[in-house]
Amino acid sequence: MDHFDNLTTERPTFVTHLECSATGKQYEPDRLYGLSDAGKPLLVKYDLDGISAALDKPTLAARPPDMWRYREFLPVRAAEHIVSLGEAITPLIHLSNEEARLGARSIIVKDESRLPTASFKARGLGMAVTMANELGVRRVAMPTNGNAGAALAAYGSRAGMEVYVFCPADTPEVNVREIALLGARVWRVNGLINDCGKIVGAGKEEMGWFDFSTLKEPYRIEGKKTMGLELAEQMQWDLPDVIFYPTGGGTGIIGMWKAFNELEAMGWITHKPRLVAVQAEGCAPIVKAYDEGKDHADLWEDAATVAAGIRVPAAIGDFLILEAVRESGGFALAVPDSEIEQAQAVAAARDGVMMSPEGAATLAGYERALEAGLVDRDERALLFNCGHGLKYPMPPADEALDHTRPIDFAALAVAAHPSDL
Ligand SMILES: *Cc1c(COP(=O)(O)O)cnc(C)c1O
């Protein structure tokens, strides 16, 4: 097996058409699209029988370990158009100490921080840029809370595109500089992500931008779908009982649900997990709509949370997120920043897993769901750590020692430690 096989071997593709997620209206494949005529996200449709006939599990298992092993499930036609930075299969890690503490059977983290640009945005943007590359796009723009912009900058620059990125002024500093270093033009905007989105919308005609806003082009979901395909394959096609997902724009939850439905239709899995959309109390439009039994979410005013990646006051795919959550038998739940920070500290100091605040929100959400009886200790739970904790401000660690003076060693052991939680 050549390490680069997935990137160099031509494999059959099975896209039949695209479909408006609201009206079902069909669109020709292999074209560049924004939203549907109805102003809703487009979904890519496949000949699933064709995939079944062309591919089986052992063939898949023999391929190199990256997201392009799922080529038959993806829209790109020619291998030469793939833009890749090494999208590794991300590991599953038991939070063993948390399992023991909570008396839970299985709490597994899927650690997406191992992907290029240290977040799962690499999957979606790797795919979206690949399709834009195949379809001849040269100039792209997006609003971002940080990680999507970094991934777009990396893949877009690699593909030789001109990349314009707009982020809220209080986006984590590392993200803004990362985006700039990765070759994009980046601006800090005195507003939230939806305000940044308006700038892209307003400038796109004059600037000739292709709009990469979340769900405003159809191929990013297909990249995020690989999370679901990969998880299923990693777990020997026996998915966990419940998945906790930090929900912002919702690409991941929508993509995973699409993956599970495609695999089920092909007979590759027989059981689908419940999906839990976790949001922060300071920005929880999906949770509010879920609680109120609504199909669409209202704009969330004055959104604020330490979990920047899920600070999304309005999501264009809100109805698709709610549909996935409800169809799966799952639920939506919000956690306060204090519990997010606590969960982050616990996972890091006890289990050695460096979660982003968004990832930590899923652990906080899991604990809340346990307490509320929404999940059982015997159920196999899976949490998404969507980004690397190192990309965010961390709690201070300021204890100092003067090496020129006698050291009180006994005092070192009683100094404050983050595991005193
Ligand atoms: C984008 C992002 C999210 C939200 O993901 P969606 O799939 O858009 O809902 C969560 N966490 C992090 C770290 C992110 O960058």
pLDDT reading at 160 higher than 70:
yes
DSSP for residue 329: T
194 Cβ closer than 6 Å to some ligand 1 atom:
no
Mean pLDDT of 124-139: 98
255 CB near ligand 1 (under 6 Å): no
CA of 405 to the centre of ligand 1 (A): 48
- Sign of the Cα torsion 125, 131, 134, 138 reads negative
Distance 108 CA to ligand 1 centre (A): 18
Q: Are the C-beta atoms of 347 and 355 separated by less than 8 Å?
A: yes
Res. 413: pLDDT tops 90? no
**Structural domain contains residue 146:** no
Let me know if residue 190 belongs to a domain.
Answer: no
**How many structural domains comprise the chain?**
1
Segment 340-363 mean pLDDT: 97
The pLDDT tens digits of the residues spanning 185-202 come to 999 999 999 999 999 999
Residue 17 CA to ligand 1 centre (angstroms): 27
- Read off the pLDDT of each residue in 147-158 and give the average, rounded to a whole number: 98
Q: What is residue 418's predicted lDDT score, i.e. its pLDDT?
A: 56
% of the chain surpassing 70 pLDDT: 99
Assess whether the C-beta atom of 113 lies below 6 angstroms from ligand 1: no
* Model confidence at 421: pLDDT above 70: no
| 363 falls within a domain | yes
248 touches ligand 1 (CB under 6 Å) = yes
Residue 386 CB–ligand 1 contact under 6 Å: yes
Q: Is residue 239 part of a domain?
A: yes
Which positions ≥6 away from 124 have C-beta within 8 Å? 148, 151, 220, 221, 223, 224, 251, 252, 255
So what's the pLDDT on residue 103? 97
For the CA of 359, the closest atom of ligand 1 is 11
Q: Which atom of ligand 1 is nearest to the CA of 253?
A: 7
DSSP letter assigned to residue 114: G
Ligand 1 centre distance from Cα of residue 309 (Å): 5
Assigned domain for 377 exists: yes
**pLDDT surpassing 60 at residue 8:** yes
147 C-beta closer than 6 A to ligand 1: yes
Q: Residue 357: CB within 6 Å of ligand 1? A: no
Per-residue confidence band for 417, with pLDDT thresholds at 50, 70 and 90: low
pLDDT band at 72 (very low <50, low <70, confident <90, very high): very high
Q: Which residues contact 382 (CB under 8 A, 6 or more apart)?
A: 92, 108, 109, 110, 231, 240, 242, 243, 244, 273
196 lines ligand 1 (CB under 6 A): no
- Report yes or no on 51 lying in a domain: no
- 147 alpha carbon to ligand 1 midpoint, in Å? 8
Residue 419 scores a pLDDT above 80: no
CATH number at residue 367: 3.40.50.1100
E strand or H helix at 231, and its extent? helix 219-234
Domain limits at 290? 92-118+218-391
**125 vs 85: CA distance, rounded Å:** 11
Q: Averaged over 220-242, what is the pLDDT?
A: 98
The amino acid sitting at 401 is L
Within a domain: 97 = yes
Q: Identify the CA nearest to 298 among candidates 282, 306, 287, 307.
A: 287
pLDDT at 395 over 90: no
- For residue 414, what pLDDT is reported? 80
Task: Determine if ligand 1 sits within 6 Å of the CB of residue 21.
Answer: no
The answer on pLDDT for 337 being more than 90 is: yes
Binning pLDDT at 50, 70 and 90, where does residue 415 land?
confident
Identify each DSSP E strand in 170-231 by its residue range.
185-189, 210-211
pLDDT digits (tens, 9 = 90+) for 281-336: 999 999 999 999 999 999 999 999 999 999 999 999 999 999 999 999 999 999 99
Query: Is any atom of ligand 1 closer than 6 Å to the C-beta of 249?
Result: yes
Check residue 113 and report its DSSP letter. Answer: G
Give the Å distance between the CA of 49 and the centre of ligand 1.
32
Interatomic CA distance for residues 77 and 48, integer angstroms = 16
Ligand 1 atom nearest to CA at 252: 7
Among protein residues, the one whose CA lies closest to atom 5 of ligand 1: 248
167/371 Cα distance (integer angstroms): 36
* Percentage above 90 pLDDT, the chain: 94
Q: How far, in Å, CA of 24 to CA of 43, rounded? A: 9
The pLDDT of residue 263: 98
Q: How many CB atoms lie within 10 A of CB 420?
A: 7
What is the rounded distance in angstroms from the CA atom of residue 367 to the CA atom of residue 373?
10
Closest residue to atom 13 of ligand 1, CA basis: 387
pLDDT at 20 over 90: yes
Does a structural domain hold residue 192? no
**Shortest-distance Cα residue to atom 14 of ligand 1:** 309
